[in-house]
Amino acid sequence: MKLDSLKIVVSGAAGGMGRHFALRLAEAGAHVAIGDVNEAGLAETAALAKGAPGKLFARKLNVADEADVAAFVAWAYGEMNGLNGLINNAGILRDGLLVKKDRETGAVKTLSKEQWDAVIAVNLTGATLLARDVVAKMVETGSKPGIVVNMSSIARYGNRGQSNYSAAKSALAANTRTWAMEFAPFGIRVAAIAPGMVETPMTQGMNQKARDALVAAIPVGRVGLPEDLWIAVKFAIECDYFNGRTIDVDGGLSM
């Protein structure tokens, strides 16, 4: 697909990778509907896109709220006068060991259900709802070709302290294959990009010791940048023979 032919939704676009993707798409001439729970961040993204060849439309979106997702997709379709793409980027972290024993007191602590539910609600259920409703709108209106790009993670292979995040991201990678098969009759491809450690507000909040150790394990010797991920997203969109697969973009990091 050509970037300037896109009428695409980008979730989690108030900052980080989502903002970068939205701006790159607008620069390429695409129409982009951005959503996030952070309205101030959305406004900043919209301001940065002023003067771009494409058009950017912003509205608050909670992907974990089924009704809100449905309303957002209907709004996006109306604003852009069409819909043929989605970058499923919204995500959160609520890290913690499933079971932990305090070294000093011997007290046993566990990952709370609230931590589990929050991550699954946004990173998996929310991504699924958004893919479902965007694709349903494309099928209903006969819009094809179409593309869905899911943002997975190399944490899908398993990562200490991320039972909830790893579960959500591995499921999203698996469903990339599932949805590719299901949506093929409608002319819609599905791809996934799996970032390693990327310089975003989310990773900037990491414990410094843990961050330094992780960077030291990256063979290319640096943290990834949103532009590194954009190159992979752009490939997934533009290569019409790429479908049902996940690309790891992690600098060679093994978790």
Integer CA distances (angstroms), 179 to 62, 171, 245, in order: 22, 12, 11
At position 1, the amino acid (one-letter code) is: M
Q: Is 77 a catalytic residue?
A: no
Write down the pLDDT at residue 255. Answer: 65
Q: Which two tokens stand for residue 44?
A: 């900043």
Q: Which two tokens stand for residue 95?
A: 């890290």
pLDDT in tens, 191-245: 999 999 998 876 777 778 877 888 888 999 999 999 999 999 999 999 999 999 9
pLDDT in tens, 98-133: 999 999 999 999 999 999 999 999 999 999 999 999
Nearest to 127 by CA among 188, 67, 66: 66
pLDDT in tens, 30-42: 999 999 999 999 9
Nearest to 35 by CA among 119, 121, 145, 122: 122
CA 34/CA 213 separation, integer angstroms: 34
Q: What is the mean pLDDT of the chain?
A: 95
Task: Identify the active-site residue in 77, 157, 165, 241.
Answer: 165
Q: Could you give all domains of the chain from N- to C-terminal order, each with its CATH number?
A: 3-248 (3.40.50.720)
Write down the pLDDT at residue 209. Answer: 82
Q: What is the pTM of this model?
A: 0.94
